Amino acid sequence: REAARGKAAAAHRRLFPGMALEEGAGAAADGVGGLNEEHFQSLRREGYAIVDGFLDIARAQRLRNEALEFAKSGKMPAHKFQFGPAHFGKPHIYEADMHDESMQHALPEFADLLFDDSLVHSVMASFPELQLEVGPRAKSLKLQYNAGSGGCFPWHYDNAGRPSKRALTCVVYLNPDWEEGHGGELVLCPFLKPQVVVAPLMNRAAFFRSDLVLHRVLPATKERVCFTIWLDSSVINRDEDCNLTARHLSSEPEAVDRLRCSPVQRSVSRAVYAEEYEASLRECMAQAAGCEEMLQAHAAHVQQQSSHKQLGPFLASLRALKPGTVRSEEES
């Protein structure tokens, strides 16, 4: 663990030259770009943490400038995703995958982030149980430009199951002029807990467990810039994380609490949050190719689970536990 902290400190000095780590006791708690032990405790307890002032501000501004210049050039690819055998685009959303060598040449500041392991070493030092992997192939980094005009994302998990190895998501926002009404907020939905709305403010990072936190992005009326780093783990998506069995189908409070903390929740989330999923799909994909197919597939999935003799009553009991309140990140 001390060796990991040493690597984290050295990497921190390379990536964040203007931000010194504290000596002594403080050095054990501090990490990359303002990450501290309180944030890691929140990740363990709630599944997410919000970090303001994440990057050196000069670096954050360089990243924003590079992102906007590339987006305005018209060369940033439209966001594509797979649904069944077909590929579709999300309206008004553009993404650059930094594993693409052409993107690395076009976006050198972001390429530096891909090949720097500062973040993973910092997380490993304070959250070793995640068993993160190291190296550029053990992470993904995508720059995203939302052109506004209602661009958004429906409810989803960043790691929906095998073969994904994503363990931790870090979204960093680069929007100095954002204000309420511009939209594009991230909404986190820890299972059967109140939703948390995160404003996409400049140099704010949102960390959350990729396999535990359902989330979406609200429609944006103004342009929105961010990039996302996903860190892989060698122990993600084990059998006990993926397989819903009869022993999970208990409405006892202790059993429900275990489900809240288990990736198995992914097996039932679409039925538990059926209306929320449908509404977000309509908002994101309205009149776009693939919308009706997705809605039909969602309805069929929910119907199949809800009509199951044992699973149906269990889903009804979980739906009754959904809280009706939404918190902002300042209240979290």
| Average pLDDT over every residue of 37-65 | 96
Average pLDDT of the chain is 89
Instruction: Give the burial class of 254: count Cβ atoms within 10 A of its Cβ; 0-12 exposed, 13-18 middle, 19 or more buried.
Output: exposed
Q: Which residues pair with 186 in a beta bridge?
A: 198, 217
Instruction: Detail the DSSP E strand segments found in the chain.
Output: 48-52, 78-83, 86-97, 139-146, 151-156, 166-173, 186-190, 195-198, 204-209, 213-220, 224-232, 326-328
- Which of 207, 161, 160 is CA-nearest to residue 45? 207
| Average pLDDT over every residue of 51-79 | 96
More confident residue, 18 or 14: 14
Instruction: Give the burial class of 292: count Cβ atoms within 10 A of its Cβ; 0-12 exposed, 13-18 middle, 19 or more buried.
Output: exposed
| Average pLDDT over every residue of 194-202 | 97
210-227 residue pLDDT tens: 999 999 999 999 999 999
Q: Which residues pair with 187 in a beta bridge?
A: 197, 216
Which of the four pLDDT bands, split at 50, 70 and 90, describes residue 88?
confident
Question: Is pLDDT at 20 greater than 60 in this prediction?
Answer: no
| Average pLDDT over every residue of 64-81 | 95
| Structure token digits, residue 173 | 């926002």
Q: What's the confidence (pLDDT) of residue 82? A: 77
Which of the four pLDDT bands, split at 50, 70 and 90, describes residue 327?
low
248-290 residue pLDDT tens: 999 999 999 999 999 999 999 999 999 999 999 999 998 788 8
Q: Which residues pair with 1 in a beta bridge?
A: none
| Structure token digits, residue 99 | 């594993």
Question: Is pLDDT at 23 greater than 50 in this prediction?
Answer: no
Question: Is pLDDT at 162 greater than 70 in this prediction?
Answer: yes
pLDDT above 90 covers a percentage of the chain that reads: 82
268 contacts 306 by C-beta, under 8 angstroms = no
